[in-house]
Amino acid sequence: MTRIQETGDRVLANVERVIVGKHREVRFALVALLCRGHLLIEDVPGTGKTVLAKAIARSLGCSFRRIQFTPDLLPSDVTGMSIYNQKTQEFEFRSGPIMSQVVLADEINRATPKTQSSLLECMEERQATVDGTTWPMPDPFLVIATQNPIEYEGTFALPEAQLDRFMLRIRLGYPQLVEEVLILDEQKRSHPIEDLEEVLSVDELRELQRAVREVYVDPSVADYIVRLVSGTRNHPDVYLGASPRGSIALYRAGQALAGLLDRDYVIPDDIKALAESALAHRLIIKTSSSIHDIQASQVVAELLETTPVDGVTPTGSGGSRGGPREVAAHLGAEA
């Protein structure tokens, strides 16, 4: 597990040359990458959503494409289309920008539902069917989508089926005063993203993705995940709770976070640290509760407090970063 931690720290340090003061969020982005999951970055304009996606892509030896989602974007503009070649008298498939290893879906909620639905098969089944022919996605394959939750004019809310395909949702938020001064100083002459170099090859990334799957998850920890997710389905304020896909996302994310913290086993505090990012966007709050300003994040926080951690005895041989203070410290939060 030491290699996962060392390589992860190298990527984190490289990305944090551009993204200042967001250690926890950058680490969670790396968690999604190691789990072969997809990432949704939701925040107001100007907080660094697109820059974070670009910094991750530049740190990896992966092909990168950006799709600017607009109301007039068509599904064929995303997946590609078959074009008739007059010389060969045959149809030739010309792949769209989704056929890249790292894809930035910028302002994803500005596209129509028809275009948004073109991502469903790509993100979950890692393939695209165009004119009856199925084309596989490259490996690795990561979609990083951004959206602005404040401005609703000219946008189309992501449906539950689309949100459920994102492993994690993170918010960057505004920087602290000292951090914002540092940002101004670093961009005095040029943007630091222009100097970012590749620190992780494709082969190394695939190896890390395989290694993360070997992180031990005790049955008692898996039981805790299931009880936590099941609680979202029975909560009085929730109309629709998290699906089994949410349980799998939390399970896989826990493995990646444990590996990044130099452990070969998952502890409940890993699950608690990831719960909001993995589950909150999968919940639909009842209308009667939303009137009283009940948020999905509040429901997850309540479940973390009320769901007992009974009989959890994780075991492993690697690392010493195991307690709640260690987890919080390495995520850049107060213990």
Q: What pLDDT does 125 receive?
A: 92
DSSP conformation letters of 277-293:
HHHGGG-EE-HHHHTTT
| 3-class SS of residue 134 | strand
For 331, half-sphere exposure in the C-beta direction (CA atoms, 13 angstrom radius) is 23
pLDDT at 56 over 80: yes
| pLDDT band with cut points at 50, 70 and 90 for residue 267 | very high
Minimal CA–CA distance to 198: which of 262, 126, 102, 331?
102
pLDDT of residue 225: 95
pLDDT (mean) for 40-63: 86
Predicted pLDDT of residue 321: 47
Asked whether the beta carbons of 273 and 170 are under 8 A apart, the reply is no
Count other Cβ atoms within 10 Å, centred on residue 317. 9
What average pLDDT is seen over the chain? 87
pLDDT-derived band at 280 (thresholds 50, 70, 90) equals very high
Query: What is the enclosing helix (H) or strand (E) of 199?
Result: none
Q: Is 110 helix (H, G, I), strand (E, B) or coil?
A: helix
- Domains for the chain: give ranges and CATH numbers: 1-213 (3.40.50.300), 215-335 (1.10.8.80)
Which residues are bridge partners to 94 per DSSP?
A: 81
In tens, the pLDDT along 207-232 reads 999 999 999 999 999 999 999 999 99
d(C-alpha 144, C-alpha 121), whole Å = 16
pLDDT digit string (tens) for 124-177? 999 998 888 899 999 889 999 998 877 666 688 888 888 999 999 998 888 889
Residue with tokens 């993203």: 193
